[in-house]
Amino acid sequence: MEYKNLTYVQEGGLAIITLNRPKAYNALCVELLSELDHVMSSLEKSREARVVIITGGSKVFAAGADITELMNADTLEAYSNCSNAHRVYDRLEALPFPTIAAINGAALGGGCELSMCCDFRIVGENSLIGLPEITLGVIPGAGGTQRLTKLVGPAKAKEMVLLGVPVKGPQAAECGFANKVVADDVVMDEARKMAAKLMERPRVALALAKETINYAVNVDVNTGKSYERARFAMVFSSADQKEGMKAFTEKRKPVFTHE
């Protein structure tokens, strides 16, 4: 498929998705969302991808849903847009390898929600993060009320959603939204550094650890622990479990094969 609103490149194990709709600040129009959906299909099937970085480039991450497209929606259309966004965003969240949002500039509304489907967020110090939907007379509709609440707690989530005032990079890190805040011009370098470290880790254990933590967010501790037990047992069928533990006892660095 030829993409008009994003680029998708694979550099060895690193897949990089760059939202590319500069005239509309990377607003997530229906076509862009459908291209993202297509990228998810490629990534889910990929034997090569080990880490994904999503960026919007050096100026803006994404300014949310395309307001010009959404403004005349009726209730049924709004419902269907919301379901579609949930579906695509859930696919991103569930990818079986780590994902990093590299955020410069605005990550607002649906853009902020997209970044929350990633495992890590690295933000520039002048980035602008928030869910300003209330100022448009609506509420977040791509998982924001749920994911932001789990990330930063209900009080901060209510502050951000009910007031609709975005925060800058340093505050986003302080409240637990971002993993790291760095100078604007090194956001992508930092994301690449993190990706390189993650690619050294064994693929099977990474996938199972991610899946188990994602599960923890939505269930009680005992249910989560039984899920963990099953995946802990499962990881012992990987070659890297044998290698990782053997290397420790032999006092050497493990050579993981990601099998």
# residues near ligand CO8 by CB under 6 A:
23
Window of 101-109, 153-161, 230-238, 250-258 that interacts with ligand CO8 by CB under 6 A: 101-109
CA dist 124 and 183 (Å) reads 5
What are the distances in angstroms from CA 195 to CA 67, 75, 88, 200?
A: 33, 41, 23, 9
DSSP-assigned beta bridge partners for residue 95: none
Site string for ligand CO8, 24-43 (x = CB under 6 A): xx-xx----x----------
Q: Select which of 48, 77, 93, 113 is catalytic.
A: 113
3-state helix, strand, coil in the chain (%, to 5): 50, 15, 30
State in Å, rounded, how far the first CA of the chain is from the last one: 30
Site string for ligand CO8, 141-170 (x = CB under 6 A): xx----------------------------
Whether the Cβ atoms of residue 25 and residue 106 lie closer than 8 Å to each other: yes
Nearer to ligand CO8, 33 or 206 (CB): 33
DSSP 105-158: SEEETHHHHHHTTSSEEEEETT-EEE-GGGGGT----SSHHHHHHHHH-HHHHH
56, 110, 124, 202: residue in contact with ligand CO8 (rule CB under 6 A) = 110
| Tokens describing residue 152 | 């930063």
Nearer to ligand CO8, 49 or 62 (CB): 62
Q: Select which of 2, 69, 125, 133 is catalytic.
A: 133
CA dist 72 and 77 (Å) reads 9
Binding to ligand CO8 by residue 16, rule CB under 6 A?
no
Considering only residues 217 to 246 of the shown chain, the ones binding ligand CO8 according to CB under 6 A are: none
Opening angle at CA 79, ends 40 and 56, nearest 5: 40
Nearer to ligand CO8, 98 or 143 (CB): 143
Look at residue 212 and give its three-state secondary structure.
helix
64, 98, 169, 202: residue in contact with ligand CO8 (rule CB under 6 A) = 64
31 carries an active-site annotation: no
63, 92, 173, 191: residue in contact with ligand CO8 (rule CB under 6 A) = 63
259 carries an active-site annotation: no
* Residues noted as catalytic: 113, 133
Which stretches of the chain bind ligand CO8, using CB under 6 A? 24-25, 27-28, 33, 63-68, 81-82, 85, 106, 108-110, 132-133, 136, 141-142
